[in-house]
Amino acid sequence: MIKQILNNRGTTLLELVFYFLIVGVVLFVSMNFAFQTIDLSRQSENLHELQANINFMSQKIVSVVRTADSIDDGNSLFENDEGKLSLIVPDSAASPTKFYLSDGDLYTKEGLNSEIKINSESIKCTVLRFQKITYPKAPDQIVIDATFEPRNTDIINLEQTLSFHTSVSLRKL
């Protein structure tokens, strides 16, 4: 009898079905995990690009505002989502220096030089708002609000929006 049990070691169809079912579940779970990891990587890249654009834009505008002599109110547009800021700077070749939004792109223009786009091709600026605050016996202050988001998103859950808010004072009264 023991000899008969030892000789009967063949695999049944039911055992094969269970084997393929287990392997299929393991492959499904591992592929799902891999796709989630790829999605998180894309989200991380989007977020990094947004943060880099915000950092570059803020440094550029803040440095110019801090060194500006005054604000050109006639050529500036405050309290608007497509705001414009025109600054009178000490360097006459770069005066006035302007910052403005056009078709989702953020531009700067120094004096008579040509305009320069600040944001990258994959990022758009949806809101650029300037607010001028004036106090007696204090330098003028500019409050800057901007919102950035990716231009093209392949997957809906990769849509990310980051906002920027800061306040900077001019150097002179």
* pLDDT tens readout for residues 32-45: 999 999 888 887 88
Q: What is the pTM of this model?
A: 0.72
Average pLDDT, the chain: 84
Q: What is the pLDDT of residues 88-138, one digit of tens each?
A: 888 888 889 999 998 888 999 998 889 999 888 888 888 999 999 888 888
**What is the distance between the alpha carbons of residues 82 and 88, in angstroms, rounded to a whole number?**
20
Q: What is the pLDDT of residues 5-19, one digit of tens each?
A: 555 666 788 888 899
Question: Which pLDDT value is given to residue 159?
Answer: 64
> Which pairs from 115-123 meet CB under 8 Å and 24+ separation?
118/53, 118/56, 118/57, 118/60, 119/53, 119/57, 119/148, 120/49, 120/53, 121/151, 122/49, 122/150, 122/151, 122/152, 123/49, 123/50, 123/53, 123/148, 123/149, 123/150, 123/151
- State the DSSP H helix or E strand holding residue 70, giving kind and residue range, or none if neither: strand 70-71
Question: Which pLDDT value is given to residue 164?
Answer: 86
